[in-house]
């Protein structure tokens, strides 16, 4: 029990026993029928296994009871099940089960009428296709007869559909009544430990719960049992004029931003180009022996001799099959995007870890960056930066730059508070606390964030090739365009091996 729960609990006085105190807590939690729930909670608590109890109010009210008792995570599944049962019940009693079948008959009758007209024309013109049309008409008439029998069977099955819906509804009601007290007792235990959980019964929440459940039932039954009664239920009301206005507004905004912010976007492109050119000189123009030796050495120092041997084999594969230059171009592009993402992401994560308001602003932006499809945010990137490698770097940063921020925040917030308090008690400055306590303890999480940023950046290799980035993604894209299975597989393994090498360099040995 937390300190808040203890301090807010009623005190046992000379005339108040622990049992009386518990009864007051249950009455406070239940809001009404406290004696009933106290007896049920005692029965459940004294049982070593599942205690069979039945809550009649929960069975009658159904999901509305779970809603007013703040158990919506259980109420919603019951709501879906009850809605399905009511739909089946109403379809069987009032619905038109043969509507779809009759629609098929109408379509066939339309075709049949056309064939009869064609038959009449063929007879009038002494055409040789008379027999063909007669056979077609005969088969269509037989099909109509069979479908009419199917429609009659569907109408006759209405009572069974209704009975199955009723039976299913009864089963759901029994499940609600049997599980209600057990679920509420668990909620009561959580409430005793943390008083931030809502308790009691609010008239407003009760009214909203009942209204919500009735609305879902009514809409579901009307839509499925009486299709076409409310056409707006089948199609969301749309307003094309608003859509065109929004499209024109976005277009005008981008035109204004491109014209007036050209110097800003050009400066960003220039900065990216400087880093990218430097890395391309390092990876592409440097002799392959030097680059391969450095990569193998780094892998050996980070992950051990076995990983170094595997890295050598991977590099041999890349070089022998002619992917070396494109692989190095890919690493230069990836390195530019990853370096910028890491250099910006770690400091931003450090700020967000200690400033909750800043993180509340940054987190929705990162959610947007991660959930927006890559082909969508490529549109504004191309509008601002054009096509080419700078645009590919920015697209890669948007897609892969968020993990390092999130995991830096997670790692710094996971530093034990008592360790920080001990360091402060010994006179540690803010800089010492950051560099000698927070960052070392958060290093595994930060390193994982760096690794995830690199891996997600590498995953954008193929997509980036669509906007002018060269490298291994270009071979995969050509393989997709021309259905070259062999080229695509070989280039894909090269990308895979690059990812494995970088993963071992950053993460070190597997634990």
pLDDT along the chain (511 residues), means of 10: 36 50 83 84 79 87 89 90 89 72 73 77 72 77 74 72 89 92 88 82 84 89 77 75 87 86 84 83 84 88 86 89 86 82 88 87 87 81 82 84 89 87 84 86 87 82 77 81 83 84 70 40
Residue whose structure tokens are 């299709």:
227
User: What are the residues whose beta carbons fall under 8 Å from the beta carbon of 311, sequence distance 6 or more?
Assistant: 295, 296, 299, 300, 501, 504
95 with 226: CB under 8 angstroms?
yes
Write down the pLDDT at residue 131: 75
Rounded Cα distance, 475 and 251, in Å: 34
Rounded Cα distance, 342 and 453, in Å: 8
Kind and range of the H or E run holding 89: helix 72-94
Rounded Cα distance, 385 and 391, in Å: 6
Distances (CA, A) of 246 to 237, 251, 288, 377: 17, 9, 52, 17
Would you state the structure tokens that stand for residue 298, as one six-digit string?
């780094």
Rounded Cα distance, 151 and 153, in Å: 5
Write down the pLDDT at residue 78: 92
Write down the pLDDT at residue 81: 92
* Alpha carbon 336 to its chain's center: 29
Express the helix, strand and coil content of the chain in percent, nearest 5 each. 85, 0, 15
User: What are the residues whose beta carbons fall under 8 Å from the beta carbon of 2, sequence distance 6 or more?
Assistant: 193, 194, 195
Write down the pLDDT at residue 167: 92
* Alpha carbon 283 to its chain's center: 37
Model-wide pTM > 0.85: no
188 with 41: CB under 8 angstroms?
yes
Three-class DSSP category at 52:
coil
Given its phi and psi angles, is residue 224 left (phi above 0), alpha (psi -120 to 50 degrees) or beta? alpha
Instruction: Compute how many other C-beta atoms are within 10 angstroms of the C-beta atom of residue 349.
Output: 27
Write down the pLDDT at residue 508: 64
The CA-based dihedral angle spanning residues 188, 194, 200, 205, taken in that order and rounded to the nearest 10 degrees: -110
């Amino acid at each position: 029990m937390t300190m808040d729960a203890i301090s807010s609990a009623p005190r046992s006085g000379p005339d108040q026993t622990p049992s009386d105190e518990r009864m007051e807590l249950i009455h406070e939690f239940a809001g009404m029928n406290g004696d009933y729930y106290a007896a049920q909670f005692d029965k459940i608590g004294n049982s070593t296994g599942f205690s069979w109890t039945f809550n009649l109010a929960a069975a009658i009210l159904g999901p509305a009871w779970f809603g007013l008792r703040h158990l919506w995570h259980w109420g919603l599944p019951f709501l879906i099940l009850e809605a399905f049962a009511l739909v089946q019940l109403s379809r069987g009693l009032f619905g038109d089960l043969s509507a779809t079948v009759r629609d098929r008959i109408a379509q066939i009758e339309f075709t049949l009428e056309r064939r009869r007209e064609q038959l009449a024309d063929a007879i009038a013109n002494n055409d040789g296709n008379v027999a063909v049309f007669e056979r077609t008409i005969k088969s269509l008439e037989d099909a109509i007869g069979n479908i009419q029998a199917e429609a009659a069977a569907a109408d006759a099955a209405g009572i069974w559909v209704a009975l199955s819906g009723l039976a299913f509804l009864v089963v759901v009601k029994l499940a609600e009544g049997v599980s209600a007290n057990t679920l509420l007792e668990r909620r009561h235990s959580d409430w005793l430990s943390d008083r931030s959980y809502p308790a009691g019964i609010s008239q407003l929440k009760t009214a909203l719960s009942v209204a919500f459940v009735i609305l879902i039932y009514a809409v579901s039954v009307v839509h499925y049992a009486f299709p076409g009664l409310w056409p707006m239920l089948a199609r969301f009301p749309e307003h094309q004029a608003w859509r065109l206005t929004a499209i024109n507004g976005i277009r005008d905004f981008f035109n204004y931003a491109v014209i007036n912010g050209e110097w800003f976007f050009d400066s960003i492109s220039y900065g990216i180009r400087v880093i990218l050119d430097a890395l391309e000189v390092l990876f592409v123009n440097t002799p392959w022996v030097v680059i391969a030796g450095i990569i193998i050495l780094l892998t050996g120092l980070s992950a051990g001799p076995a990983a170094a041997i595997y890295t050598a084999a991977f590099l041999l594969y890349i070089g022998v099959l002619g992917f070396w230059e494109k692989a190095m171009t890919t690493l230069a592009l990836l390195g530019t995007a990853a370096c910028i993402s890491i250099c910006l992401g770690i400091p931003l994560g450090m700020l967000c870890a200690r400033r909750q308001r800043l993180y509340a602003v940054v987190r929705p932006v990162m959610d947007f960056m991660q959930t927006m499809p890559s082909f969508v945010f490529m549109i504004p990137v191309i509008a601002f930066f054009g096509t080419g490698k700078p645009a590919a770097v920015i697209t890669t940063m948007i897609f892969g730059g968020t993990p390092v921020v999130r995991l830096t925040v997670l790692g710094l917030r996971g530093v034990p508070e008592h360790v920080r308090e001990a360091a402060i008690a010994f006179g540690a400055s803010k800089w010492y606390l950051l560099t000698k306590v927070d960052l070392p303890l958060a290093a595994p999480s930060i390193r994982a964030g760096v690794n995830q940023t690199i891996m997600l950046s590498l995953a954008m290799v193929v997509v980036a090739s669509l906007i002018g980035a060269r490298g291994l993604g270009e071979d995969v894209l050509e393989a997709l365009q021309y259905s070259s299975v062999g080229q695509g597989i070989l280039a894909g393994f090269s990308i895979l091996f690059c990812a494995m090498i970088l993963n071992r360099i950053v993460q070190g040995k597997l634990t």
